[in-house]
A and B are shown apart, each in its own frame.
Chain A
Amino acid sequence: MTGSRHRQAVRRGYGLAVAGCGLVLLLVAGLEAWRLQPVGETGAGQVLRLAEPPDRPRAAGPPEAPAVPVVPGDPAGVPGRQPPVALRAPAIDLTAPVAGVGVDPETGELALPGADRAGWYRLGPGLEASRGSVVIAGHVDTRDGPGVFFRVAELAPGDRIELTATGGAARSFRVVGREVHRKGELPLERYFDPGGRLRLTLITCTGPFDRRTGSYRDNVVVTAVPD
């Protein structure tokens, strides 16, 4: 009787120990899953509306304030593009120099500068713009370590972003949305857009990493509007 009880206690203890080990493994894996959870999306609908053409006046009648943008055609008044030279996002302790970048002639992709600076798409709107998407992209990391946009995916609606032009003039933006797209499905025309409302578009990489190709699966896009 006593031996049987003892045997049962041992068996129970053994079973509980095994269950405890299993629980620890599950917890560790769960923690890792929580740490590596995908970047969340927010404000996607609002970002989509920014790319739409402005509303047209609704009805006939007395002339009203035009919704159509009007610019002077004075040759001396055409400013040319004003490149941003610095970007600041206090919410993520980011202060970075910005360089103008174009397209890699071989791949057709955006030719980003090194990991220590962000790249402004210089064939699109700059700081002079009154409409369209000012695009600044940066590395989330490289083989050498974290890049300039390592924490850009942490930007949340309401966070401020400041762009500075040569000479110190600054322009302030407020984050309204964060979207994640598979790289093959990135709606490039909506982000590299000379039209629609004026907005700042920050792009970097996120998602699962493929060690064989050395690349991420997704892009994360943070959109901000003038403050």
Chain B
Amino acid sequence: MGISGTRLRRAGLVVAVAAAVTLAIAAPVRAQDTSQVFVVHGIPGQPVDVYVDGEAVLSDFQPGDVAGPLELAAGSYEIVVTAPGDPVTNPIISVPGAEVPAGANLSLVAHLGEGGDPTLTPFVNDVSAPAAGQARVTVRHTAAAPAVDVRVNGEVTFAGLTNPQEDSADVPAGTITGDVVLAGTSDVVIGPADLTLDEGTLTIVYAVGSAEDATLMLVVQVIDIAAGPAGVPAGSGGLAATGLATGWYLLAGLGALLLAGGLLRAFTVRRAAQP
């Protein structure tokens, strides 16, 4: 490794330190300034390393796995995907300027394009809270395959999706059975698969792989998106109350007065008794 390599490494360090400082500063207001970024691996048969601005954030990342969240400050990032152990100069996918907005929830998906070439697609996840009793399901076509329909419990729910389109719906929480068919047909290409959709979750289903290579499969990512309660009322009896009621302060005040008055009286008497 020559001088330029050392320089590169130093530059990487500077970027990493700058990023760490940015993150530290952004921490108290991170909801506005940074985004949560997940990485989804949808390229069959190819484990990878993932670099963000030269930092190794994932190593030997396996197909079908979901990583994250990374907290990334808003800005532009260089994202490089390599075969495990390969240098960043020999990438499978390289995105020089991936834009991360502020305050978003993103899934960065490494997948095959419609033609079968590896690519990286950022999706924004809708993490707004669903209504009570509801779950959200999002389907994303990220496979080297033609247009498809997604059927839920036998009925076409998301129709005519092409790579890299997505669609979304809020549904009652529960277990569903889904499959993927060629658009407008009942030729099943993936599934059927059972999925448990918990209340207050976002379940993202990715169709990945290649129709030609017969590697089509589903990758599922689940994110908690419930709004959370507004408070926790957990007592109504007063048995565990702390702090004195006003009466006790009055009593203590009276005690202090009596003590002072009594002592003063005894004290002055004693003084007066001195010859």
Q: Report which A residues bind B (CB closer than 8 A).
A: 5, 8, 11-12, 14-30, 32-33, 36-39, 52-53, 56-66, 68-76, 78, 80-81, 102-105, 107-110, 112, 121-125, 132, 137-147, 149-150, 153, 183, 186, 188-189, 192, 194-195, 203-209, 211, 214-216, 219
Chain A residues positioned under 8 Å from B23 (CB to CB): 56
Q: For chain B, what secondary structure do more than half of its interface residues adopt (helix, strand, loop), or is it mixed? A: mixed
Contact A73-B221, Cβ < 8 Å, known A21-B258, A102-B132: yes
Chain B residues positioned under 8 Å from A145 (CB to CB): 237, 239
What's the least CB distance linking A20 to chain B, in Å?
Answer: 7
0/1 per residue, B16-27, Cβ < 8 Å to A? Answer: 100110010001
What's the least CB distance linking B143 to chain A, in Å?
Answer: 14
Interface residue tally for chain B (C-beta within 8 Å):
92
Partner of B195, one of A75, A186, A215: A75
Contact A22-B240, Cβ < 8 Å, known A15-B269, A65-B59: no
Closest 8 A-B residue pairs measured CB to CB? A19-B262, A25-B255, A22-B258, A22-B259, A15-B265, A18-B262, A205-B235, A60-B12
Docked CA distance A153–B234 (Å): 13
Chain B residues positioned under 8 Å from A65 (CB to CB): 59
Docked CA distance A167–B8 (Å): 55
Q: Does B110 contact A (CB under 8 A)?
A: no
Docked CA distance A188–B228 (Å): 8
- Do A61 and B56 have beta carbons less than 8 Å apart? yes
- Do B16 and A59 have beta carbons less than 8 Å apart? yes
- Do B242 and A37 have beta carbons less than 8 Å apart? yes
